[in-house]
Structure 1
Amino acid sequence: MRLNNGRWREVLTGVAVTVVMAGVYMVQPHFLTALNQKVYDSILALTTRPNTSGVPVIVDLDEQSLARFGQWPWPRYRVAILLEKIRRLGADVVGVDIIFAEPDRTSPREIQKNLRNDLSIAVDFTGLPDALMDYDQVLANRLAAGPFVLSYKFFAESADDLGSDCRIHPVSTAIVARAGTPQGIPLMFNPTSVVCNIPVLAEAAGASGFINIAVDSDGIYRKVPLVMKWKDAIYPNLALAVFMRTTGIDNLALKVDPHGLEALRIGPTTVPVDSRGNLLIHYRSASRAFPYYSAADVLEDNLPEGIFNAKAVFIGATAAGLKDYRATPLNAASPGVEVHATVLDNLLLGDFISRPDWVTGMEFIIVWLSGVLTIVWLLWARARWSVVGVILGGGIVWGGSILCFRNTGIFVSPLWPLITLSICFVLLTVLKFWREESEKRFFYTAFSRYVSGTVVDELVKSRRELSLDGQEKDVSVLFCDLRGFTDLSERLAPNQVSELLRTCFTPMTRSIINSGGTMDKFIGDSIMAFWNAPLDVPVHQAVAVGTALDMLDEMKRLNVSFKQDFGITLGVGIGIHSGLVRVGNMGSEDLFDYTVIGDNVNLASRLEALTKTYGLSLLVSETVRRACGTGFVFQEVDTVRVKGKQAPVTVYTVYRDHAEGPSAKELAKWDSMLALYKKGQFAAALAALAGLRQDHRDLQLYRIYTQRCREFATRPPGENWDPIFVLNSK
């Protein structure tokens, strides 16, 4: 495909867009990052897998529970009862998504203290066992006796009274650092304070984990930090702590480099985290992906025995008044406890969402490919296919991202290539439309003088290239000359000459154009035309011959009026030859004509000149006769060697049928005479010619051959004679 100036403009525009988009991708502006997050959410929603490991379940502090057992917070002894009943139902481990940051104010001992301090009243709970005087201790005793994991929350804000007496549980961690990694773990979230459970509970529990969830700038919870560093120790997320209790793993391995966390390994499982230790959460569904059980049903023993066998139970709240809801990619208000259950399920199944380091390079390459392929496609394709191709390309990018996400869990963003593709499409389509409109105007300007409007329309549709160099093509070339016009023009005023030419040329030109021919030029009282360029014309030789006969008919019609107006008639000489020529816009960069050049063009001109010699109106070459087949009546005229060509050419005159030209009998006699002439039997040829002139027509052609035969009969040409007539003039 040749690139003209317009196409180069499109290429450069497309390349510029691609370069800019590659730069934008590296910069990652905020508004596009936010849009990319929405794209991620859409792909996650399209690829959700409702199937879970079956291990996480949720005991729900729901509206039913609050209605039956009173508003929250409940007395700690009731929480202890809830934990015990969950354990008895078979739970392997229980994660408590509740922070007990203050002592239970409903404990008898707390009531005694508050009444004494506030009202100076001494209350004696006679008969109440000492073990029930402190509900926090009741809960602590229960925590110490079971597989319970408490929760706490880190904060970035520093506060002297936060975390000073906290008892939280770090995890044994092996840290493998690459060479050049600074002290500590770069980029890992390092909180400065913590809200945790009161010491009596924290010390009783065997494990705990933080409940922080990373929120993005749009308020959506897409990821969760699995580990944080506080006071030179590594602490696990609640779900990770529950996972470690479930699997019996008690240590982690962290691989770090100068850019932060590189990998997190828990036993045999490698978890794909980002440099800050965040795991992308693979949400299962919009809501309630895990079994929910009301805390009221647990407390009232409404659940079947063993229902929590081999389960990891999370205790959390969905009651509206407790407001523990999070906006996730799949749900604007998902219970916070379900986020922890989902993270545990991800760890158990290992179906993580990840973005390895190489994804950035791949997305960068895809941006370039989408730009380059869009440029190539839009340059090659028509308007309709351009749209189809771009839609298909966008579908491939989008579908490929979905397939990659579904099958591997790797998120390769389709946003950047889609933006590149879209911008390239819009800008290049506008430029292409502008270029094509310019080309249309060019085609109409370049060809409307030569061919019919229909042909110009076809040229516009086919988008044939016009070049100054042209192309090699087989065409039929016609030259037409008005006989007797010079004598007539000497008797007329200049304006009458112009009018006469217009009168003659108009119907002839229409015949040429209507047949699909191309008007090349007017040369004084001559016309030059050709067929099969710029558009292909089937059997163009026959079309050219038919058009020539139409032109002769038009001249006969015009001669009727010329005889009346001027007292004379005009003759026409037409020569037609077909062959390979150079066709195209010939001329300078600024001025040019669409024309044909070459030896075959010159031969057509020589044939037109020969018509005067033989007294005929139309001569065609052997090439034309063979291509036309039997559609016309051809009469062989002579074999000539024209000036400038060594190879002889057999020429013919043409008629539509025998009624218009020689009868079949006359033509047979003529062919017999030619055979005698070519054999050198001139006396016999003379006798045949005499019969032709007497019985049929006395043509100038017959008289020419009569003269030749007489001369050759008188002065024989010799043994090396050939029947080729040499034309020494143009």
Structure 2
Amino acid sequence: MDKGILAVADKVKKEKKKPGRIRKFFSMTRLTGFLLLLGLLAIQVVNPYPLEFMRNKTFDMYQRAQPREVISRPVTIVDLDEESLATIGQWPWPRSTVGDMVANLFRMGAGVVAFDMAFPEPDRLSPSKIADNVTGLDAALEAELRKLPSNDEYFANIIKQTRVVLGQAGFDREIEDQVHRPPVKKSIGFRGEKPHRFVPILPSLVRNVPEIEEVAAGHGFFSLFPETDGIVRRVPTLFQFDNNIYTGLAIEMLRVATGRRTILATTNQNGVQSVAIAKGLVLPTDQKGRVWPHFSKHDKAKYVSARDVLSGVVDPAMIKGKLIIVGTSAVGLLDIRATPVEGTLPGVEVHANVIESVVDKAFLSRPNNMNGAEFLLTLGAGLIMIILVPMIGAKWTLILFALIAGGSGATSWYLFSEQKLLFDAGFAMISTLGIYVQLTYMGYAAEEAQKKQVRSAFSHYMSPALVERLAEDPSGLKLGGENRSMTLLFCDVRGFTSISELFDAEGLTKLINKFLTPLTNVILNRQGTIDKYMGDCIMAFWNAPLDVENHEREGCISALEMIDSLVEVNERLEKEAEEEGRPHIPLRIGIGLNTGVCCVGNMGSDQRFDYSVLGDPVNLASRLEGQSKTYGVTIVIGESTYKNVQDLACIELDLIQVKGKTEAVRIFSVLGDDKVAQKPDFIQYAEHHAELLKAYRDQQWEKVREMIVSANQMIDGLKMEHHGLYDLYEERMQDYEKNPPGADWDGVFIATSK
């Protein structure tokens, strides 16, 4: 472990000792959050088109989810439909025909008749126009035609006797040959400020011919101005042309129907507030004087065909007492619109929706204070995130955000569905989510930077799993040496000298890497730490510098998995040997494991030191690895390790006094995992081996020999290969028969080699 590790640990400690709550509160993360919040609030105040678009789409979604239910039908639409055009002829019809239709409507009891169209030019089918345009007429017939009244006069005479509202069209662009006539009589009054600076100005106006315009009961704009995305959401009640204020078609119809001479527009410094038609008929508007109808789905029940009106076969109940709008659903007449609830809807039905919303009090409203409420929601929710995310973490604040978003969304829906108020919580929630993500990312980035420091400092000394644990909690690092209970592992390749003679220096290096890599991966995957490589030998340990639960078991399971990993390595090496035409010697390893209290920490000089371990248990683990070949087994473990892995398939090997030790130690071998230990055949074998070992220590040599035969048969049945253990016992018994150990022999064997 190098000085970089000390620096990381010191930094971790200093972070915990930083004074100043105010300085800590106004961290870089929070300051960035404040700046982001200010920027989002500025966007909300400016209200650019994308924000307005998003808000409108939210309100569209509400209307699609809950379109207005048609309760009453005060309006009937006389439809210039395809059937009418096919029967009577293409539009425009003679004004005399239109006049007859109006007369029929009033004979059936119509309340008001309005036209969702204009008559800007004299009727070209009037008798005098025919006399002008047809050549070859005799003088008498021409004179008679010129004496007849024009179709416009005929139409005007009918309008004069009834309550008809003529339509006017406004354009947002200049049109050629614009005629500026004196305005028709005023039908609007003002309360408060005049609305001229708020009401949309129309550069052009298409009016009706003077003969019929002068006798009409009312005049209203039928123009609809879709928003940028082509959807009609809001319908103007007021228009401005030549500095004069005019009313919309639906508003003018209601004025005429209620017998009022004027309507009243209320305006303050924020814009138009409302348009009052009569007592109880007050329309809330936005600052530009537009109403926001709660649209219904397309309603065919309010339509009658103009053909049926002219022929007199229409149901009288559809006409009597109704407000009649003459319009068209014919595609060729180009009056098809899109609304929040319908992709295609005849424009005339939009005006019907306005009147129905007035009668049923179903207007949507977005008071000016809604902007302030939405601003405060963005501010409040953003501040909560800025304060709490660094304080309580991302998980809990995400739950809090979900509660705030859910509550805000539910409130927005409640206000729409129950109060008909339009409140947009969408931008506030998107802003809050953006702040949450920004704060979480910055916290994550800072944490990752600290983790990167830890990984960089410790990756050469610890397993990746332990490095990650330490990176997650750097406070777990303790500097300097400390005593810990640890499990040590030594692994060495048997007969490596003979194997190395088959390769040159480069080939030998590649060979070592090929088998050390899988063995190392096994250790690291089991939370072990590689202490060092010594040629073909590996030294590793568990439970330092961080705790590893059941480290004895992790070490033994690692040893078993290392044996398994060599199978694939040997298969690959054998194939390579065949391809290169050289002999193949399978790799076999011996492993020793021991557990005990060791001193672990920084070992070395002032200029260079490593994180390593010292202690008698380390030396014993190395000696046990050396004894694995002697005892004919792959894994040898000490008694302290065995005490914590008795659920594995283990057998006792011997009492041995290893070289360099004055006391005997009991050693064991691990032959398989817990699944092997639970097999009935192994249980029988382990009991038999224990009896054999007792007879051996009791110096019952003949009995031991008989039991060895059975033991070898059991080993074959279990597909194990440690027959060398019993060969060792036989060799020793032969020696003891020549040189008896004595009656007081305690069964200890004194090793003379490492």
**Equivalent runs, 1:600-611 vs 2, <5 Å:** none
Q: Per-residue deviation at 1:12? A: 3.7
> Do the aligned partners of residues 142 and 148 (structure 1) sit closer, same or farther apart at CA in structure 2, a change above 3 Å counting?
same
> Do the aligned partners of residues 566 and 294 (structure 1) sit closer, same or farther apart at CA in structure 2, a change above 3 Å counting?
same
- Once the two structures are superposed, what CA deviation does each residue of 1:657-708 show, in whole Å capped at 9, x if it has no partner? xxxxxxxxxxxxxxxxxxxxxxxxxxxxxxxxxxxxxxxxxxxxxxxxxxxx
Q: Per-residue deviation at 1:175? A: 2.7
* Structure 2 counterpart of 1:185: 196
Q: Per-residue deviation at 1:373? A: 4.0
Give 3-state SS (helix, strand or coil) of 1:94's partner.
strand
> Do the aligned partners of residues 18 and 300 (structure 1) sit closer, same or farther apart at CA in structure 2, a change above 3 Å counting?
same
2:268 to 252, 257, 260: 257
* Structure 2 counterpart of 1:282: 294
* Structure 2 counterpart of 1:239: 250
Give 3-state SS (helix, strand or coil) of 1:242's partner.
helix
Q: How far apart are the structure 1 equivalents of 2:382 and 2:159?
A: 61
> Do the aligned partners of residues 122 and 166 (structure 1) sit closer, same or farther apart at CA in structure 2, a change above 3 Å counting?
farther
Whether the 8 Å contact between 1:186 and 1:261 is mirrored in structure 2 is no
2:282 to 258, 270, 274: 270
Q: Per-residue deviation at 1:567? A: 5.5
2:190 to 171, 174, 189: 174
2:424 to 408, 413, 432: 413
**Equivalent runs, 1:370-385 vs 2, <5 Å:** 370-375=381-386, 379=390
- Amino acid aligned to 2:141: D
Q: How far apart are the structure 2 equivalents of 1:240 and 1:7?
A: 56
Cα root mean square deviation, aligned: 4.9
* Structure 2 counterpart of 1:565: 659
**Equivalent runs, 1:623-638 vs 2, <5 Å:** none
Q: Per-residue deviation at 1:506? A: 6.0
Per mean C-alpha deviation after superposition, the further-off stretch among 421-430 and 144-153 is 421-430
* Structure 1 counterpart of 2:673: none
1:61 to 80, 85, 93: 80
- Amino acid aligned to 1:97: D
- Amino acid aligned to 1:144: K
**Equivalent runs, 1:273-672 vs 2, <5 Å:** 273-285=285-297, 287-288=298-299, 291-375=302-386, 379=390, 394-438=405-449, 466=475, 513-514=548-549, 550=640, 564-566=658-660, 568=662
- Amino acid aligned to 1:65: S
Q: Per-residue deviation at 1:317? A: 1.0
Give 3-state SS (helix, strand or coil) of 2:318's partner.
coil
> Do the aligned partners of residues 187 and 382 (structure 1) sit closer, same or farther apart at CA in structure 2, a change above 3 Å counting?
closer
Q: How far apart are the structure 2 equivalents of 1:261 and 1:507?
A: 78
* Structure 2 counterpart of 1:144: 160
- Once the two structures are superposed, what CA deviation does each residue of 1:358-380 show, in whole Å capped at 9, x if it has no partner? 11111112222343344566557
> Do the aligned partners of residues 300 and 383 (structure 1) sit closer, same or farther apart at CA in structure 2, a change above 3 Å counting?
same
Q: How far apart are the structure 2 equivalents of 1:12 and 1:338?
A: 53
> Do the aligned partners of residues 310 and 16 (structure 1) sit closer, same or farther apart at CA in structure 2, a change above 3 Å counting?
same
- Amino acid aligned to 1:303: V
Q: How far apart are the structure 2 equivalents of 1:520 and 1:404?
A: 70
Whether the 8 Å contact between 2:544 and 2:600 is mirrored in structure 1 is no
Give 3-state SS (helix, strand or coil) of 2:98's partner.
helix
Q: How far apart are the structure 2 equivalents of 1:201 and 1:359?
A: 44
Question: What is the number of equivalent residue pairs in this alignment?
Answer: 514
**Equivalent runs, 1:34-73 vs 2, <5 Å:** 34-73=53-92
2:139 to 108, 111, 122: 122
* Structure 1 counterpart of 2:30: 11
> Do the aligned partners of residues 448 and 380 (structure 1) sit closer, same or farther apart at CA in structure 2, a change above 3 Å counting?
farther
- Amino acid aligned to 1:220: I
> Do the aligned partners of residues 331 and 439 (structure 1) sit closer, same or farther apart at CA in structure 2, a change above 3 Å counting?
same
Q: How far apart are the structure 1 equivalents of 2:660 and 2:195?
A: 113
* Structure 1 counterpart of 2:688: none
Q: How far apart are the structure 2 equivalents of 1:205 and 1:509?
A: 98
Q: Per-residue deviation at 1:158? A: 6.1
> Do the aligned partners of residues 148 and 509 (structure 1) sit closer, same or farther apart at CA in structure 2, a change above 3 Å counting?
closer
- Once the two structures are superposed, what CA deviation does each residue of 1:8-34 show, in whole Å capped at 9, x if it has no partner? 454344333222211111222333333
Whether the 8 Å contact between 2:485 and 2:598 is mirrored in structure 1 is no
Q: TM-score with structure 2 length normalisation?
A: 0.58
* Structure 2 counterpart of 1:684: none
Q: Percent identity?
A: 26
* Structure 1 counterpart of 2:43: 24
> Do the aligned partners of residues 16 and 466 (structure 1) sit closer, same or farther apart at CA in structure 2, a change above 3 Å counting?
farther
Q: How far apart are the structure 1 equivalents of 2:601 and 2:473?
A: 25
> Do the aligned partners of residues 457 and 506 (structure 1) sit closer, same or farther apart at CA in structure 2, a change above 3 Å counting?
closer
- Once the two structures are superposed, what CA deviation does each residue of 1:331-365 show, in whole Å capped at 9, x if it has no partner? 34321111111111222222222221211111112
Per mean C-alpha deviation after superposition, the further-off stretch among 235-244 and 88-97 is 88-97
Q: How far apart are the structure 2 equivalents of 1:142 and 1:153?
A: 22
Query: Can you give the 5+ residue segments of structure 2 that lack an aligned partner in the other structure?
Result: 1-15, 487-533, 553-596, 604-612, 616-638, 645-651, 666-754
